[in-house]
């Protein structure tokens, strides 16, 4: 055991060197950002390379749609408290799964939470007043304001805040006389005004188009979304990176992924140099169908599959600068050893954020089948 009053560590330069060495030994390199996603109907996190996979919620309920807070300290998500998994309420929790709090208590559906850039508000879609529309909650006083569907029934969802907090991009169902409703990307001001389509809504007779999962780029200059267009039996599926002035970049990953596929989530990562998406292969035997999470490098077109589990790994979300993912209980012990040498502010902060990694029990309304990996 090293004693704090020894001459060896009394020299500032030596003490600094010891701290740096301990950090390098105990904290995973290249793991200063994390991915959260849904798998087996629970919320998970992992490192950028797919390592460090860990479940945060305790498998009692069906949970989907995780979304990081801007500072990486909290995750918002959907939880179904009933047998119908479409009837969801919104929750938030700490990044380690503790302190789970229910935010909504009404409507059949409250889904797709997304944080404002300052972390003070949460946008989501809900059917509390009939059609599915977009709402914003003030997290301090839990008041809710409806933004879409006030003039007429439109059906809007999947809102995503612009980095400056001034606008939303979102998806909107297009009314047609009969058949499937196309889905288009729309933009509006943060207060719900100035609602307009990013692209012209499809006219009657146009090829069927579904544009989903819209996300602003970190610099606010581009919007990323998934487009499925053409015949319903054999649509063309591509990722689109589009500037507000209409300039597009189309990315087709069908050959790289190895066959026909369907998407189940999308987000930017690495300051806009890459994006994450989840997808499942449609041309494999039914028993082998499952969704995995992939990383696509925009500059060189490199595609890497991050998960290979038999579960459906869906709806990834990435945050800059979150704490490294480590096994439960391991990181606090390591930082405790460092703190025993001498007290440093950063060590106290890490210890505080990782001291209790056991999720707080929630009221058991129903239990889903346990099929954890």
Q: What is the pLDDT of residues 329-339, one digit of tens each?
A: 333 323 233 22
pLDDT at residue 18 tops 90:
no
Q: Can you say how many angstroms the Cα of residue 38 is from the centroid of all Cα atoms in its chain?
A: 9
Low-confidence winner among 21-25, 35-39, 75-79, 302-306 (lowest mean pLDDT):
21-25
The predicted structure's pLDDT at residue 321:
67
CA angle 62-120-211, nearest 5°? 55
Give the pLDDT mean for 130-155. 91
Q: CB neighbours of 200 closer than 8 A, spacing ≥ 6?
A: none
What pLDDT, on a 0 to 100 scale, did the predictor assign at position 177?
67
Lowest pLDDT segment from 135-144, 192-201, 344-353: 344-353
Question: What HEC string does the chain produce?
Answer: CCCCCCCCCCCHHHHHHHHHHHHHHHCCCCCCCEEEEEECCEEEEEECCCCCCEECCCCCCEEEEEEECCCCCEEEEEEECCCCCCCEEEEEEECCCCCCEECCCCCCCEEEEEECCCCCEEEEEECCCCCCEEEEEECCCCCEEECCCCCCCCCEEEEEECCCCCEEEEEEECCCCCCCCCEEEEEEECCCCCCEECCCCCCCCCCCEEEEEEEECCCCCEEEEEEEECCCCCCEEEEEEEECCCCEEEECCHHHHCCCEEEEEEEEEHHHCEEEEEEEECCCCHHHCCEEEEEEECCCCCEEECCCCCCCCEEEEEECCCCCCCCCCHHHHHHHHHHHHCCCHHHHHHHHHHCCCCCCCCCCCCCCCCCCC
pLDDT tens, residue by residue, 284-331: 887 778 999 999 999 999 999 999 988 899 999 999 865 555 433 333
Q: What is the per-residue pLDDT for 8?
A: 31
Among the listed ranges 143-147, 332-336, 350-354, which one has the minimum average pLDDT value?
Answer: 332-336
For 170-202, the pLDDT digits (tens) are 999 987 766 678 899 999 999 999 999 998 888
Mean predicted lDDT score pLDDT of the chain: 80
Please give the average per-residue pLDDT across 89-106, as a whole number: 95
Mean pLDDT over 110-138 rounds to 95
pLDDT of 254 strictly over 90: yes
How far apart CA 202 and CA 179 sit, in angstroms, is 14
* Overall average pLDDT of the 360-369 stretch: 40
| Whether residue 60 has pLDDT greater than 90 | no
């Amino acid at each position: 055991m090293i004693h704090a009053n020894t001459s060896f560590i009394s020299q500032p330069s030596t003490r600094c060197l010891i701290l740096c060495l301990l950090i390098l030994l105990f904290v995973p390199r290249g793991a200063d950002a994390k991915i959260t996603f849904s798998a087996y109907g629970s919320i998970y996190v992992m490192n950028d390379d797919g390592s460090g996979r860990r479940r945060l919620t305790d498998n009692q309920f069906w949970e989907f749609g995780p979304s990081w807070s801007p500072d990486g300290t909290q995750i918002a998500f959907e939880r179904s408290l009933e047998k119908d998994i479409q009837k969801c309420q919104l929750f938030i929790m700490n990044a380690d799964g503790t302190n789970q709090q229910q935010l909504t208590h009404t409507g059949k559906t409250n889904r797709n939470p997304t944080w404002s850039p300052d972390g003070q508000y949460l946008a989501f879609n809900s059917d509390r007043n009939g059609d599915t529309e977009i709402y914003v909650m003030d997290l301090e006083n839990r008041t809710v304001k409806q933004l879409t569907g006030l003039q007429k029934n439109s059906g809007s969802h999947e809102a995503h805040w612009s980095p400056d907090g001034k606008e939303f991009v979102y998806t909107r169902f297009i009314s047609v006389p009969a058949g499937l409703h196309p889905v288009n990307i729309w933009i509006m001001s943060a207060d719900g005004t100035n609602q307009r389509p990013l692209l012209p809504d499809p006219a009657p007779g146009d090829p069927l188009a579904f544009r989903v999962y819209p996300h602003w780029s970190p610099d606010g200059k581009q919007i990323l979304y998934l487009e499925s267009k053409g015949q319903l039996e054999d649509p063309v599926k591509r990722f689109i990176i589009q500037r507000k002035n209409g300039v597009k970049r189309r990315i087709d990953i069908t050959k790289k992924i190895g066959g026909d596929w369907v998407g189940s989530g999308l987000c930017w990562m690495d300051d806009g140099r890459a994006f994450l998406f989840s997808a499942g292969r449609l041309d494999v035997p039914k028993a082998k169908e499952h969704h995995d999470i992939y990383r696509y490098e925009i500059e060189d077109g490199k595609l890497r599959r991050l998960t290979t589990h038999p579960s459906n790994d869906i709806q990834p979300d990435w945050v800059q600068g979150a704490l490294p993912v480590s096994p439960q209980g391991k990181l606090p012990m390591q930082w405790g050893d460092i703190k025993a040498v001498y007290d440093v502010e950063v060590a106290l902060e890490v210890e505080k954020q990782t001291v209790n990694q056991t999720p707080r029990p929630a009221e058991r309304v129903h239990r889903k089948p346990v099929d954890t990996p």
